[in-house]
Amino acid sequence: MPIHPTAIIDASAEIDPTADIGPYVVIDGSVSIKANVRIYAHAYLSGWTDIAEDCEVHPFAVVGHLPQDFHFKGDKSYCRIGPRTIIREHVTVHRSAHADGETVIGSDCQLLCGTHVGHDAVLGKGVTLIPFAAVAGHAEIHDRVIISNASAVHQFTRVGRLAMLGGGSIITQDVPPFMMTIDRGAPIGVNVIGMKRASLPKEDISEIRQLYREVYRSDRPISVSVDAFRERVATPSGRAFVEFMDNPGRRGIIRAGRQPRD
């Protein structure tokens, strides 16, 4: 596959011969592009960025550019994109704001048009960002999370595996795995469809629904609810839920919503 003659490529870049580099692409810096990657017209890649095998970067995407951090001193830092990830039009993914730090996008992710991933954020495998979703710096998004359109995740916030954030959600505290949220991030139920699509057993789904009821339909503090069922969990998903709740990040765990349902 060719490198288009209008592409501008830094001499320090490393490009696999099977990669397809489209018209007017700019590759500025020590960018590494692995096998079968396609970079569409007008994309901009910079910094110390690594694009793994079979990725797609679409027109006007910006990957590995300078972090939006007033404390950034221009240090060498990294941006890593996992295999088979698709980065659509006008997406921005910034490299770390810290010397030798990393912004990491896992394998098989889909970052749809206009989405943003800030410096030092980490996305797991199979994460989907719907148009205009934004993930702030240092956020941690676990495997197979869906962040719906126009949602925003606060810096240093964690979102657990297979959570689904509804359109327009404002997430300022940690979202436990398998939960669904809406509005100000309040949990409104269990992502049962997502769990089924992930081929999780019925027993896991049933236990997560029970844990949701005990935590988010109870008047007890979250820590008390977790203590009450800690010894009773019997499935891998239940244990993952408890482990997440036992290890809150610096932002704390989201509280019950005004319209809980399951």
Answer yes or no: are the C-beta atoms of 82 and 143 closer than 8 Å. Answer: no
Q: Which of 64, 101, 114, 137 is catalytic?
A: 137
Output the CA–CA distances (angstroms, integers) from residue 16 to 1, 23, 55, 80, in the order listed: 10, 17, 12, 16
| Active-site residue, selected from the candidate residues 82, 106, 114, 120 | 120
Q: What token pair was written down for 96?
A: 């770390």
Concatenated DSSP letters for 179-193? EEEETTTEEEEE-HH
187 strand-pairing partners: 181
Residues 98, 119, 138, 142: which is the catalytic one?
119
Residue 49 in contact with residue 95, Cβ under 8 Å? yes
119 is catalytic: yes
d(CA 173, CA 256): 12
Tokens of 102: 């990393």
* CA 160 distance to own-chain centroid: 10
Q: Burial of 184 by CB count in 10 Å (0-12 exposed, 13-18 middle, 19+ buried)?
A: middle
Residue with tokens 């889909």: 110
Q: What residues are annotated to the active site? A: 119-120, 137
